[in-house]
Amino acid sequence: MPADDFLSPSFVLFVGGFVAAVFLFGALIAFVAAAGSQTVEGLAVALAGLGGLFLVAGAVGAGVMRYRRGSGSGSKTAPTGERR
């Protein structure tokens, strides 16, 4: 499948980390702009929580993909040793 060339554990971890960074940056901006507003502070906490969720999901997804590939070295070999 053509997507197998691009869908690697490191790519999944990168995307999860990047999306998490975007949410955490949004949380930081919302917290700085809050100026004592509890509603906006709640939004900042929610955005930070979503960022953490995406980071954990990316790490778990990368770990599962690495485990399912067998060796975990990033090689294109199946667990039985045959080339894909």
Tell me, yes or no, whether 75 lies in a domain.
Answer: no
Give one DSSP letter per residue of 15-52, joined into a string.
Answer: HHHHHHHHHHHHHHHHHHHHTT-HHHHHHHHHHHHHHH
Reply yes or no on whether the pLDDT at 2 is more than 70: no
Residues 4-49: pLDDT tens digits?
A: 667 889 999 999 999 999 999 999 999 998 888 899 999 999 999 9
The reply to whether 62 falls in a domain is yes
Residue 56 near residue 66, CB atoms below 8 Å? no
Total tally of structural domains belonging to the chain: 1
Q: Are 66 and 9 in contact, with CB atoms under 8 Å apart?
A: yes
The distance between the two most distant Cα atoms of the chain, rounded to a whole number of Å, is 61
Domain that holds residue 59: 23-70
Q: Model confidence at 81, in pLDDT bands (50, 70, 90)? A: low
Is 78 a member of any domain?
Answer: no
Side-chain-side CA neighbours of 78 within 13 Å: the count stands at 4
